[in-house]
Chain A
Amino acid sequence: MNTNKILSIFAAAALVLGMTGCTAKFAEISKDQHNAHLDDMLQDDLLLGSMFQQLERSVIVYSDGKYLDSDYQIMYNLCAETWCGYMAPTLSDGKNSGFLVTDGWHRRMFTVKYEYGMAAYTQLAKFASENGMDGQLALGKIVKVATMHQVTDYYGPIAYSQTGSVSGNLYDSQEEVYKAFFTELDEAVEVLAPLANAGTKLMEDYDIVYGGDVAKWVRFANSLRLRLAMRISYADATLARAEAEKATSNSFGLITDNTDNAVVSGVSHHPIYEINVNFNDADCQVNATLDCYLNGYNDPRAFLYTKKAADGKLHGVRTGIAPSDWTPYKNTAAKVSAPNAESYKICWLNAAEVAFLRAEGAVRGWNMGGTAKDFYNQGITLSFEEWGASGVANYIANSTAKPASFTDAVGTNNTSAPSTVTIAWNDGGDEEEKLEKIGTQKWLALFPNSAEAWAEYRRLHYPKILKPVKNFNSDVNDDQQIRRVPYPVSEQSDNPDGYASGVAALGGADNAGTRLWWDKKPF
């Protein structure tokens, strides 16, 4: 055996052994080079800012890179937006407009809000708490309430005080959830008030609603409190009044000007535009109920909300039509009105809504800082201003126009007018008449904020909404219409204890006919 051979064997052996010792670089190798790590997130307020913005984006989802317009379609367009009388789906496999709730659709409000909204809040809250950033935490709380109240308003009891465990989380009753909302708004406003006084801006590079303007956020928090207070007016009148008056009396006030409206900036188009224009040549058209009110009132907002059909008129579409052939309802046929969605904004809460809430509070005898009539007229005026509509004075004074009966431009699903309510305020009217006027005009002014419109329809029973041509859901009473959204089926297996606690707190079957805690107004 010569020396060279021996050396070469040892060289080979050394190479073999040498290769095994270099796992030190594995952490670097297995690092994701295309996403942000914690150390990146600690720069430029990125962690707080990006989480806050994600939370904001969850309030009404839109095509933001993470979620799609089709998520909006499932969460709102096929649910609240249909059931509140704004839009009518014209997609082939939809019986949801006849109250048939499909799990694949009705679960999205639940999943998106927790996985997008609450997930962001948890990150924000953890970091803000650890670093004493109370102002940012307070803003997070406000937006969390804004996004999560839609979830409880869809389903009822939800996981709220306890979330985040992979093995499941118990639900709170809706009453507990609402009380938690008020507490969180208290905490937030307390922290933010001094900052607002100092003219502070927080997370201004990231905040897509108010650009970090704390004072505006406090006004939003007060207005949100007023909305939530009104929601529980039939369930807990005492608390409702206390919270409503607290909101009104706060030194920063409420949103009274359209410039303070909570509108999401940087949205290239409202999802309804996409759903109508690009989804199968119209997956939705204007609802027949909207047709009745806008046509009947000869509403100047009519062709700001909708487009003219080929005949130059506004024609809506009934819900609950057996979806075997929607073809004549598509855009190309132009027999019905498409939503005029190019101009829609994603608006969480506007000044008009606040005015109508105050009007209702005044009707209920609460101290809202003014009269019901003034607030009512103010609400209509603010809405006209928001949409750039003219002729508000005549509109407010109109005491004769009534909702029109519905004529189907395509089929034969004609029906009589949903209501006989007129526009002009009548101080001599009874409380229900006043509530109907407020409910009807608020509904018109909320457009297209459907989650709120549907919740308020269920609470107040106004405006009166056309029944679907066919009700496909035997759990749902024709007259009372759909009252809630069933929980995602997956909760039964993935969170069995939580689901059981939710159904127990619901106090009824987990179906679309069960009334929520705040849904107490007698029929």
Chain B
Amino acid sequence: MSYQLKRVFALAISAFAGLLVCVGASAQSKTVTGTIMDDQGEPLIGASVTVEGNATVGTITDLDGNYSLSVPASATSLRFSFIGMEDAVEEIGGRSVINVTLTAGSLALNATVVTAMGIKKEEKSLSYNVQQAKLDNVSPVGSFVNGLNGKVAGVSITQSSTGVGGASRIVMRGSKSISNNNNALYVIDGIPMQSQAGTQPTGGYEGAGQTGDILGTLNQEDIESISVLSGPSAAALYGSAAANGVIIITTKKGQKDTFEINYSNNTTFTQAYIMPKFQNTYGQSEEMSYYSWGKKLDTPSSYNPRNFFRTGLNEVNSLSLSTGTERSQTYVSASYAFANGIIHNNDVNRLNIAVRNTTDIVKDILTMDINASYGRVFEQNMTAQGEYGNPIVPVYLFPAGGDWEKVQIYERYNASRNIKTQWWPGGWTEHSMQNPYWITEHQKWQNTKNRLMASAQLSYKPFKWLTVSARGKFDRTDGVAEQKFDAGTNTLFTEGSKHGKYSNNTDYNEQRFAEVMATVNKYFGDNIVSVAGVVGANIDDVRYHRDYVYGGLRSVNNLFSLNNIDRASGKTKLESSGWHSQTQSVFANAQVGFKSMVYLDVTGRMDWSSTLYKTGIFYPTVGLSGIVTEIIPGMKSKIFPYWKVRVSYSEVGNSPEASLFLTDSVYDVVDGLPGTTASVLNQNLVPERTKSFEAGTNIHLFDSKLQIDATYYKSSTFNQFYNPRISSTSESSSYWVNGGQVDNRGVEAAIRFNDNIGKFNYGIFGTYTWNANKIVSLEFPDEDGNIIKRERIPMGGFGGLNTFLYEGGTLGDIYVTTLAKDGDYLKQDSKGMIVADLSEDNMIYAGTTDATHRMSLGGHVGYAGLTLSFLITARLGGIVISKTQAIMDYYGISQDTADARDRGFIEINGMKITDIQGYYQTITASNGVMSQYVYSADNVRLQEIALGYDFPMKQWGVKFIKGLNLSVVGNNLFMIYSKAPFDPEMTSNIGTYNQGVDYFMQPSTRSLGFSVKVKF
């Protein structure tokens, strides 16, 4: 913790510590002075000193931990206490100077957490829920927040199906916005980051060539801590963008008076885990057919789709150096990571270099903190789902009894062209299939990102009660995303060229951020009332630009250069886009404490955003918390040491994406000619507004060995900023409106028990999350202000399923096509076969893809440096849909189709159908009858087992190695319960809709990793 920050919050604390003492003066006395420090040698501010046996005589320490107390002659001992510390009692004897060091007690009530703007606060003073998280185990590349899964409450983390390097979907306290981003905001060292997640696939074709988000460019070893602000109240200081909650990342600094080198290696092996079930007993419909509706094979086919996947390997090597003197500390780190996914050529590598220096320019008065980092990420063939460029489609559908060895000779010499081209018979191209080995070897999606980030902060502390700081950040990511398809690729994917295809998407995202902030800490009335306040202003300026070129190659095979693009084909695309946005804000927060028992927290923020610049928007928050065990005299005991209750209310906004240009009327220019835009402009838009209330409690029992945190929240998001489809007769397809309301309410709770018996320690923890999402209203005004009420609003679909928003429904509701009915009976055609009803109009409700409950149970046992831990996660409620299963049924390759053939009939609604192929092809043709492919998303899994050992180097007398830790971590080891044919916690996209829909997503993986950490 930086010195100046420590001062800031310490000042705040000191103001309230007065409650512990009654400030009385005695006439006959002597004066005792001294300093109270903690066991780290830091002065304790606001610690109380009382005369033992006469608590009415006492004082508290000042900003430097000093006290001065007139003690009556009768006094023999002084008691020194501080919340969270063990009390100390010292005999006065003849001393007039008594210095005391207090040690942290098991209460750990003085825990500090990083809150909004990077401000550290004591947990006990907060009126909202902040969860501090530690990433114990290195996740090699990609979105390391997956490691938070099951460790914090109120957060839904869904892992990407892109293989290695993908972004994660992080939704806190439910989806609030119909069309805006619902993902949490990432803040690094107090400054919000652009997510930079790429376009998300939602349809049946796209999904290849994905990219990770901003977290994928960071070195996890540089992270000191992570704070999760799941509620808007906690995040309110961030104004618009805070409604979705915030993940605060604090990075490491150099340490004083140390010289330390840390090296770590993490090696992880991954394997394909949850896959659909395949049959291998029924052969091809006819030779060279891709359908497995043929005769029963004499011997089952030996083809096993699982063999297509390799063992993935992730390796991260990190080296860091931390050094410092009293006045200047430096942290330098370098890291190189590479990862091979379970599909050949799905590779990611990453290089990071970071330097940070913190210097007291004028001791205790002027501090400078400068930080520079560089990250380079290369990603190849990250495929989330879909048909195009997805090798899994032909791998999964390959017919039993087919000759896979032929497929493995995926390229064959083409004499007339003098090159090897793809071997893939013409009839095998349905569902956009190509030879899967051709796809992995000859269709490359390659992304390279270079990120440069530099920040500086200057803190000036003219008075003990005031800190003025200014900080700035420059953060730029340059990316190049290329597609290189070799000659021999199906010309459907090469814009008709037999020579190959090339596309190049070059972009940059540049953020400039500046902030000034003054932190005030004052206490009044003999320290009974304290005021800790922040006032500041910032400006956040973001620019994005993108140039995109694609086309088939003209003549030279596999020359992936713009020089070789066939512009005459008419299929070349030249596109640019970009945007610039700026948000200017002023904000203030004041926390008023009374006797260290009750805290009132008020925040106000005003945002002016260029995306909707007509008016500034004000966001208020107010919170109140009280420590009941302190308020009620005599309540506090060893068994029941701490009970806090808290309530807070906030209003925050959510501004639309700058890329939408909602205030700017344009004609879309395509291929050099302007045209009309698809959406009607609306000049009256305002940001969404989330009004949120939360109440919570923190209870410690049994000497704080048992800790319970629970929060109930309710939020309503108004002015939903969305884009309902409108009748084409309007000459547009959609219309941006403010309207409607979406509510969320829920509970997030955590319970922890930790104890130790000598060298043996053990602990157990559980988290629980419940969220209920409800669309309260979908009304919106038309251009004349008349209220339009739609029975339902379609948010897009995915062949046979659609998200329809209904009032009373949820944002996760999915509707599916179903079987045609004749009254109460299933409709049958002249041959007796059931009939599909594929009309969107008659779709039925399948369920919501949101979880109702999320739970986790974890624990550890440790003995002398050896720790074994486990984590089980569970999800209840919600559904998932497998379109993969439907297509597998269509081809007759699923185990279900073999079971049905073995059995001789399919029973549906009491009706026995013996034409198995006819049945399956009825329910799977033309996007399929998706009501037959809805599965419960309930699942319970052994998420993690880790075994670690801290070698007792000191004990062994090894001096040059200060620490050595070895650990083994297994992840996603065993699915204890799941009924879905794929992992229900995987997603192909981090958006709001089409969650829980599998269309040839990569299988989820299980992994086993080893790590070595050495400290010199």
Contact = CB atoms under 8 A, between A and B. Distances in A.
A19 B536 CA distance: 10
Contacts of A256: none
A394 interface: no
Contact of B580 (A19, A30, A167, A498): A30
A412 interface: no
A281 B491 CA distance: 9
Interface stretch (A108-116, A291-299, A430-438): A108-116
Interface in A78-107: 92-95, 102-104
Given A9-B462, A92-B430, A333-B426, 20 more contacts: A9-B518, A20-B608, A26-B582, A35-B669, A40-B674, A53-B673, A93-B926, A115-B676, A120-B676, A164-B729, A165-B783, A166-B782, A278-B492, A280-B492, A281-B492, A324-B925, A327-B427, A488-B728, A489-B839, A494-B727
B791 interface: yes
Interface string B64-104: 00000000000000000000000000000000000000000
A237 interface: no
B915 to A, nearest CB: 12
Interface residue SS majority, chain B: mixed
Nearest to B491: A278
Contacts of B668: 35, 66
Interface string B458-473: 0010110010101000
9 contacts: A8-B462, A16-B516, A16-B537, A20-B584, A166-B732, A169-B727, A324-B925, A330-B427, A332-B427
A120 B675 contact: yes
Contact of B728 (A16, A34, A111, A333): A111
Interface string A12-29: 110111011011011101
Nearest to B494: A278
Contact of B840 (A63, A168, A489): A489
Nearest to B606: A20
The contact size tier of chain B is 35 or more
Interface in B246-290: 285, 289-290
A8 B468 CA distance: 9
Nearest to A29: B610
Interface string B524-564: 00000000000111110000000000000000000000000
- The 6 A-B pairs at the shortest CB distance, nearest first, are namely A332-B426, A268-B570, A327-B427, A495-B727, A26-B613, A65-B671
Contacts of B537: 15-17, 19-20
Interface stretch (B49-57, B106-114, B219-227, B656-664): B656-664
A166 B681 CA distance: 11
A485 interface: no
A340 interface: no
A65 B669 CA distance: 10
A95 B925 contact: yes
B429 A159 contact: no
> Which of B290, B427, B584, B786 neighbours the largest number of chain A CB atoms within 10 Å of its CB?
B427
A493 B792 contact: yes
Contacts, number: 258
Contacts of A23: 584, 608, 610, 613, 616
B376 to A, nearest CB: 28
Contact of A165 (B518, B586, B730, B927): B730
Contacts of A103: 839-841
A280 B616 CA distance: 53
A490 B794 contact: yes
B829 to A, nearest CB: 9
Contacts of B291: 324-325
B979 interface: no
Interface in B762-795: 782-783, 786, 788, 790-792, 794
Contact of A35 (B667, B786, B840): B667
> Which of B432, B586, B666, B925 neighbours the largest number of chain A CB atoms within 10 Å of its CB?
B666
Interface string B413-434: 0000000000001110111100
A30 B730 contact: no
Contacts of B839: 103, 489
A264 B285 CA distance: 46
Nearest to B580: A29
Contacts of B727: 159, 168-169, 490-491, 494-495, 498
Contacts of B502: none
A19 B587 CA distance: 12
A131 interface: no
B491 to A, nearest CB: 5
A268 B568 contact: yes
A192 B10 CA distance: 85
B725 interface: yes
> Which of A63, A328, A331, A494 neighbours the largest number of chain B CB atoms within 10 Å of its CB?
A494
A35 B735 contact: no
B603 interface: no
B895 interface: no
B577 interface: yes
A492 interface: yes
Given A122-B731, A494-B725, A29 B674 contact: no
Nearest to A280: B429
Contacts of A64: 670-671
B665 interface: yes
Contacts of A163: 729-731
A312 to B, nearest CB: 20
Contacts of B474: none
Contacts of B580: 29-30, 33
A92 B731 contact: no
B336 interface: no
Contacts of B663: 27, 30
B840 A30 contact: no
Interface in A108-164: 110-111, 113-116, 118-120, 122-123, 158-159, 163-164
A389 B786 CA distance: 61
Nearest to A2: B462
A38 interface: yes
A66 B675 contact: yes
A452 interface: no
Contacts of B577: 34
Nearest to A46: B674
Contacts of A268: 568-571
Interface string B383-410: 0000000000000000000000000000
B733 interface: yes
Contact of B466 (A9, A37, A54): A9
B750 interface: no
Contact of A167 (B431, B782, B925): B782
Given A324-B921, A325-B285, A330-B427, A166 B676 contact: no
Given A37-B665, A324-B921, A27 B613 contact: yes
A36 B658 CA distance: 17
Contacts of B786: 167
Contacts of B669: 34-36
Contact of A492 (B429, B666, B841): B841
Interface string B806-821: 0000000000000000
B577 to A, nearest CB: 5
A507 to B, nearest CB: 20
> Which of A16, A20, A323 neighbours the largest number of chain B CB atoms within 10 Å of its CB?
A16
Contacts of A50: 667, 673-675
